[in-house]
Amino acid sequence: MTLLAILAVGYGASFATFVWLARAIESPAMRNWIISADPERSVDAETLGRSVRLNAMVSVGFMGTVSFLFRDRLLYEGDVALWRLPLEIVLVTLVYDFGYYAIHRYPFHEWEVLRAVHAVHHKSRHPRGIDSLLLHPLETCIGLGAFLASIAFVGGVHVVSFAILFVGYTTLNVVNHAGIAFARFPLRTLGHLAVQHDKHHRGPRAGNFAFLTAIPDTIFGTIE
């Protein structure tokens, strides 16, 4: 499995999730699960579209460039014990979640360092999937940089672990902004993530700063 193929699958999965959520939120069957009928964006459709196109290009360019330049520090190939793959995935997930929590809570919210950068993302109070790309390009790079740094921090991962992590990262980033509180198995957990992130978008002092789990917010008392 080549790095290029992994990136293509990850971004393909993200796009497929965009399309699925866009259709789902218009479906009468989902009417009772929609968190808010109005995304309450303070940007027009043209500005939103421009942000989506720009950040899609920045994401692909940044991820492609950095992952290829630092491939040897991020990935390894060859035979690997099966128990090692889930361990790598869990370790990277936890490192990333705590790292992103710190970035999101402090430079993005509590300090003035990057508050204006992150404010672009909060122009939607009740996000939809497409709002995962309503970002300042710098925030796109910071998020992806934190993801790759988490992999490097644990000493790199097997190429299969990297594939699972990247596909999970790209798709969950969209699902977090779904705007749909899925209430039935097997999507109930994803619906909970969307509800938690929707609460975060409602105001600058809201909690729920972590990305993948509630562990950092629970430990530091910022869960809403």
Contact (Cβ atoms closer than 8 angstroms) between residue 126 and residue 179: yes
Structure tokens given for 89:
């995935």
Residue 140: the pLDDT is 97
Arithmetic mean of pLDDT over the chain:
93
Query: How much is the pTM?
Result: 0.93
Predicted confidence at residue 205, as pLDDT, reads: 67
Residue pair 108/115 in contact (Cβ under 8 Å)? The answer is yes
The mean pLDDT of 203-224, rounded to a whole number, is 85
Question: Residue 205's CB: how many other CB atoms inside 10 A?
Answer: 7
Backbone CA torsion sign across 99, 214, 205, 187: positive
Give the three-state DSSP class for 170.
helix
Per DSSP, the three-state class of 37 is: coil
**Per-residue H/E/C for 84-123:** HHHHHHHHHHHHHHHHHHHHHHHHHHHCCCCHHHHHCHHH
Q: CA-to-CA distance for 64 and 56, rounded, in angstroms?
A: 12
Residue 99 has pLDDT above 80, yes or no: yes
Per the CB < 8 A criterion, the answer to whether 191 and 181 are in contact is yes
What is the end-to-end Cα distance of the chain in Å, rounded? Answer: 40
Q: Residue 182 belongs to what H/E stretch? A: none
pLDDT of 1 strictly over 70: no
Strand partners, 75: 157
State yes or no: pLDDT of 204 exceeds 70: no
Predicted confidence (pLDDT) at residue 176 exceeds the cutoff of 70: yes
% of the chain beyond a pLDDT of 70: 98
Weakest-pLDDT range from 90-94, 156-160, 206-210:
206-210
- Mean pLDDT within 9-17: 96
In this prediction, residues 130-154 reach a mean pLDDT of 97
What are residue 178's phi and psi, to 5 degrees?
-65, -35
Structural domain spans, the chain: 47-74+83-220
Q: What is the pLDDT of residues 63-93, one digit of tens each?
A: 999 999 999 999 999 999 999 999 999 999 9
pLDDT of residue 157: 97
Look at 205 and 22; give whichever has higher pLDDT: 22
When pLDDT is averaged across residues 136-161 and rounded to a whole number, the result is: 97
pLDDT at 2 over 80: yes
In angstroms, what CA-CA distances link 191 with 11, 31, 72, 146?
Answer: 21, 14, 37, 25
